[in-house]
Chain A
Amino acid sequence: MISLMINGERRKVDASPDMPLLWVLRDQLGLNFTRYGCGQGLCGACTILLDGEPVRACMTPVGELAGRRITTIHGLEGGVAKLVKAAWVELDVPQCGYCQAGQVLAATVLLRKNPKPSDADIDDALDGHLCRCGTYRRIRAAIHLAASRLGGAP
């Protein structure tokens, strides 16, 4: 049994330690909001936060996670996250939506650390998050919109 802290709740799972967290979340715990896009750390669809840092769940063996704080889009809370999600909805960012949880998580972490990101900062933080629907312009605009409402304080 591996004991995990997911979105503030303690969950016990019976999984082999090399099983990627992605499949523990999806198939063992029914937490479907974390999505499979490539399984090789190449797309960002499976992004979760590990102790507040964005991480690819498809590349993260569950055995290494005891005692770490795991946050999925479902547990993403706080003022910055709220502003990011509101900006996303206001600008109608999503198309198919499949990549968006990962994008929102990455954008939230960016703004928590850097409340006034430049376009280059956004490129750095989000370049590994593919969107086949091509919502990049709106993602960028939504990050700037959320930043403008942050008033500089994370």
Chain B
Amino acid sequence: MSRFDATALGRRDFLKVCGAAGLTLAAGSTAAAEPGEFVANAFVSIAADGQVTVTVKHLEMGQGVATGLPVLVAEELEVDPAAIQIAYAPADAKRYNNLFWGPSQGTGGSTATANSWEQLRKAGAGAREMLVEAAARRLKVDRAGLVALNGEVVHGASGRRIAYGDLVGDAAKLTPPDNPPLKAPADFRLIGRAGVKRSDSKAKTEGTAVYGGDIRLPGLVTALVARPPVFGAKLKDFDRRPALALAGVVAVVPISSGVAVVGTDFWSAHRGREALKVDWTTPANPPSTETIRRDWTALLDKPGLVARAQGEAEAALGRGSKRLSAVYETPYLAHAPMEPLNCVVKLSRDKCEIWTGCQFQTHDQAMAAKAAGLRPDQVDIHTLVAGGSFGRRANPASDYIVEGVEIAKAVGAPVRLMWTREDDIRGGYYRPMFLHGFEAALDAGGMPSAWRHRICGQSILDGGPFAAMIKDGIDFVSVEGAANLPYAIANLQVELHSPKLSVPVLWWRSVGSSHTAFATECFLDELAHAGGKDPLALRRALLADHPRHLAVLELAAAKSGWGEPLPPGKGRGLAVHESFNSFVAQVAEVTIGPKGEIKVDRVVCAVDCGIAVTPDVVKAQMEGGIAFGLSAALFGEITLKDGAAEQSNFHDYRCLRMSEMPKVEVHIMPSAAAPTGVGEPGVPPIAPAVCNAIFAATGKRVRKLPIGEKI
């Protein structure tokens, strides 16, 4: 028997072999039962040898869903989470939709754990109840005398025990219960406990995890796409001959996003693309960062659409005893996940199969179907792990998926589409650039009495399939974190301008909060200093009605030694922000060198994310969120010149390095509330905490990101 003969091995063994060797994956796993398998529900199945498989409906992109979600099942099923096998769900909106997104399957908005919280505990409990019932019938005892424990059903009185694997045949014949009883939180033995390990550390340490670019199929070709060098440009003409003349280049085909160069391998396709000659149209008024800044600065003088109004902000601005104004700026940002975009597409007359780290299954399925000329149910998506995404793979345009399908259709062979790093950095779908204009007034006691915040930047939802979520012209994504400012300021107005540009924009880890937290938390710091108040004391006074904000703020402040003196050249800054229903406060400590060099020494982070299902994963997400936010705060910037991005790779789109990573201490608030997001909420507070620390150390305000290496 050949080691990789799929027919000779069981499905599970086959997947195991492929996973271990990183070789061709023949099929994604679906919940179709093997003989003798107990498929309890869409998420839990148990084989006759006792092997428990949990289907994970979300994309594992580093945030730990392949660890946390199985724990929810294991808690109720009473099995060891380390022994669980994971399968990634097929694209199937009926069974695997994100419960917060209605009839759509996908991962984003830090919802994976929160929307699965009850669903997966019920899935585990339902399977457990069926196993217990099957045991009661087998042993002819009252089920009240039985308990599920560590993969077995145990009869307390007699000490008899039956392994789950021995019950699968009987359990499979029972009707799944509608409302299986769930444990009280006090009885949790896994959820919220330390010691649960990541399920994927070994594979990722040894390099064997399978990503989209690793898939090999018979006859597979590799494609790169030449895309317009300038946003808004279109294909005019191209000469395929110089590319086709090169060894290994098999086809050159126009597609909707540009011209695809198809080769036997990446290197051939890459060389072919370099040789290709393409003429692009020249769009009128291509945007440059400088012109955008000039235009938008002028817009900030004009009233925008009102996203929030309370009291009489305009009038109160004139009545204060002190008035402050400031403009804050954040740049376009590329996501730059370590794994550039890719997907593998295999097309036949009535079927389209896609292998990729898929973040938007239902949407991508529909878009792929449209591109292929098929129905959505004819599109199978095999979701693999992704080498990061930070939002990039959740694209309403399904850009890279559609490219893959179009090329596969044009060349009549299975295609692996690859983006290079340059494609990634220059390719748009950026976190939008934003300007934030503030006016505020302080009363005689130095307390903020009026706050007017004008936000100016492109709408992410505009023009896409989610445009219906724009209400009265306000894209909530542009104002999140600002319109819901928690501070008790009697006269408060938040306004929005949403100018349109040809630059495609997209959500980027923490979305609106990635810029609103910076602007609001720094400006509040300005108000504190102008009013002669300690930044912590002012926040405390203004957050009386927001106990969860206040609690993380107090915790971070206490753990950081807030208020204790620091030597000259050092400073501490703090910020607190709510995003994705979680609350995070951070205190940053910086050292400024003799030439103004900035070193972030230490970050103390307090997070309230409800029940922390797997606390070490929560910590890792805070650490990672801080690193990601710090990369952007210090270095991250896409600038445009005549419609093109000026950056192209990691040399000019700098990311945080080992030597620049601060010490990070994460403190998790004990909580009995249902879990909320952790993948994104660690990002927003770091930029303002660092900028406020720089002010504390130097007296200089940073109002524009990135900060740069020096102040």
Contact = CB atoms under 8 A, between A and B. Distances in A.
Interface of A: 16, 19-20, 23, 26-28, 30, 32-40, 42-43, 45, 72-74, 85, 88-89, 92-101, 104, 122-123, 126-140
B201 interface: yes
Given A36-B340, A74-B206, A134-B661, 5 more contacts: A19-B267, A94-B201, A98-B388, A100-B205, A133-B388
Contacts of B626: 134
Nearest to A86: B205
The residue among A85, A92, A93, A140 with the most chain B CB atoms within 10 A of its own CB is A92
Interface in B197-229: 197-198, 200-211, 213-214, 216, 222
Contacts of A73: 206-207
Given A20-B267, A130-B657, A92 B198 contact: yes
Contacts of B385: 96-97
17 contacts: A20-B267, A35-B339, A38-B649, A72-B207, A89-B197, A94-B204, A95-B620, A96-B61, A97-B387, A98-B388, A126-B658, A127-B659, A130-B650, A130-B655, A132-B388, A132-B655, A138-B623
Contacts of A137: 623, 661, 663-664
A30 B216 contact: yes
Contacts of A99: 338, 387
B658 A129 contact: yes
B404 interface: no
B207 A33 contact: yes
Interface in B397-428: 418, 420-421
Contacts of A34: 207
B649 A95 contact: no
Contacts of A35: 207, 211, 213, 338-339, 387
Nearest to A142: B205
B213 A36 contact: yes
Given A95-B62, A96-B61, A132-B336, A43 B650 contact: yes
Contacts of A130: 338, 650, 655, 657
B206 A42 contact: no
Interface of B: 22-23, 61-64, 197-198, 200-211, 213-214, 216, 222, 247, 264-267, 336-340, 385-388, 390, 418, 420-421, 616, 620, 623-628, 631, 649-651, 655-659, 661, 663-664
Nearest to A16: B247
Contact of A98 (B22, B23, B267, B387): B387
A23 B386 contact: no
Given A27-B267, A35-B339, A101 B62 contact: no
A34 to B, nearest CB: 8
A14 to B, nearest CB: 11
Contacts of B198: 92, 94
Contact of B338 (A40, A92, A98, A139): A98
Given A93-B201, A96-B62, A98-B387, A132 B216 contact: no
B627 A136 contact: yes
A32 B388 contact: no
A43 B205 contact: no
B340 A92 contact: no
A40 B651 CA distance: 9
B338 A138 contact: no
Contacts of B628: 132-134
Contacts of B247: 16
B624 A133 contact: yes
A16 B209 CA distance: 29
Contact of B650 (A32, A38, A89, A97): A38
Contact of A101 (B207, B213, B664): B207
B284 to A, nearest CB: 34
| 8 pairs of A and B residues whose beta carbons are closest in the complex | A134-B627, A97-B204, A98-B387, A96-B62, A95-B62, A33-B207, A27-B265, A94-B204
Nearest to B651: A42
Contacts of B208: 33, 74
Contacts of A39: 420-421, 649
B416 to A, nearest CB: 9
B207 A74 contact: yes
B326 to A, nearest CB: 30
A42 B386 CA distance: 20
Contacts of B390: 132
B77 to A, nearest CB: 23
Of B210, B386, B390, B623, the most chain A CB neighbours within 10 A belong to B623
Contact of B63 (A95, A100, A136): A95
A85 B206 contact: yes
Contact of A88 (B201, B623, B657, B664): B201
Given A23-B266, A137-B661, A138-B620, A45 B338 contact: yes
